[in-house]
C-alpha cells in the first residue's frame, strides 16, 4: 500500500511536468517491483530462483543512483537560481554595469584595502547633463538608450581593474583603485571627450550628450566611504 501511494504521488508529480517526479519514478518503480516480489516469496506465493534474490539489492542500488542524480540535479538548479538572483542584485538591468548596492560594497572593500596598503583610490561621480530635458523632449525610451550608451562609453575608458556602477537615475560612480588625483583627472578628461564626441542616434535624428564629473581621492586618515562620495 505504501509503495502504491508513493508511486501515485510520483506519477502525479510527473504529470504536472515536475522533472523530479521522473527521477523519483525511475528510482522507485524498480525497487517497488523487487520489494513486492520478495514479499510474495516470503508469503509463499511465488518460488524465486536463487539468483533472483539479488533483484532486491539491485533495485535498492538503482533507486539510490536515480535519487542521487535527482538530488544532484536539484542542487545544480538551486545554484543556477542563486547565481541568477545574485546577478540581478549586483547588476543594473538597464545599463549592464554594477548596481548601487554592488558598487557600494566594492567601494567599502577598496577603501579598506587602500587604507591598509597605502595605495590610492580615485572616485568619479558622473552625472548626465540636462537628462530630464532629454526625457521630456524625446521620451523615456530614448532616455534609457542614452543611459545605456553613456554606460558603454564610460566602461570603455576605464582600466580592467576599475569598477563602474549606476548610482541612480542619470548618475554613475567609477572607482579607480591605485589612482591619484592626476590619474583620476586624466581619466575624467577621456570620459568627457568620449561621451560628447558622438551624439546618440535615434530614429528622428540624434541626441547630443555631455556629462559632468566630480573627482575625489581617498584621504586614508579622514575619509570613510560616505565622506569620500560626498566630496
Q: What is the spatial distance between Cα 1 and Cα 49, in angstroms, rounded to a whole number?
A: 26
Active site annotation includes 157? no
Element holding 153 (H helix, E strand): helix 140-157
User: The cell 575619509 sits on which residue?
Assistant: 223
Q: Is 222 helix (H, G, I), strand (E, B) or coil?
A: coil
User: The cell 548596492 sits on which residue?
Assistant: 101
Cβ–Cβ under 8 Å, residues 211 and 192: yes
* Residues 101-104: contacts with CB under 8 Å, at least 24 apart: 102/165, 103/163, 103/164, 103/165, 103/166, 103/167, 103/173, 103/175, 104/165, 104/225
| Cα 76–Cα 79–Cα 82 angle in degrees, nearest 5 | 155
Beta-carbon contacts of residue 204 (< 8 Å; ≥ 6 apart): 138
The residue annotated as part of the active site, out of 63, 81, 170, 171, is: 170
CA 39, 43, 47, 52: dihedral to nearest 10 degrees?
Answer: 20
Catalytic residue list:
170
Amino acid at each position: 500500500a505504501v509503495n502504491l501511494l508513493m508511486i501515485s504521488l510520483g506519477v502525479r508529480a510527473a504529470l504536472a511536468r515536475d522533472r523530479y517526479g521522473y527521477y523519483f519514478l525511475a528510482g522507485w518503480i524498480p525497487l517497488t517491483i523487487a520489494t513486492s516480489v520478495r514479499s510474495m516469496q516470503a508469503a509463499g506465493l511465488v518460488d524465486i530462483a536463487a539468483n533472483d534474490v539479488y533483484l532486491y539489492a539491485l533495485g535498492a542500488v538503482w533507486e539510490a543512483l536515480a535519487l542521487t542524480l535527482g538530488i544532484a540535479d536539484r542542487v545544480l538548479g538551486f545554484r543556477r537560481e542563486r547565481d541568477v538572483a545574485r546577478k540581478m542584485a549586483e547588476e543594473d538591468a538597464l545599463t549592464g554595469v554594477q548596481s548601487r548596492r554592488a558598487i557600494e560594497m566594492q567601494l567599502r572593500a577598496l577603501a579598506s584595502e587602500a587604507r591598509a596598503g597605502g595605495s590610492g583610490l580615485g572616485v568619479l561621480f558622473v552625472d548626465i547633463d540636462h537628462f530630464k530635458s532629454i526625457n521630456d523632449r524625446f521620451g523615456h525610451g530614448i532616455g534609457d538608450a542614452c543611459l545605456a550608451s553613456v554606460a558603454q562609453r564610460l566602461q570603455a575608458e576605464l582600466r580592467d581593474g576599475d569598477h563602474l556602477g549606476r548610482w541612480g537615475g542619470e548618475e554613475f560612480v567609477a572607482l579607480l583603485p591605485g589612482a591619484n588625483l592626476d590619474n583620476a583627472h586624466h581619466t575624467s578628461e577621456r570620459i568627457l571627450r568620449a561621451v560628447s564626441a558622438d551624439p546618440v542616434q535615434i530614429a528622428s535624428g540624434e541626441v547630443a550628450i555631455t556629462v559632468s564629473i566630480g573627482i575625489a581621492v581617498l584621504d586614508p586618515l579622514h575619509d570613510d566611504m560616505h565622506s569620500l562620495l560626498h566630496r
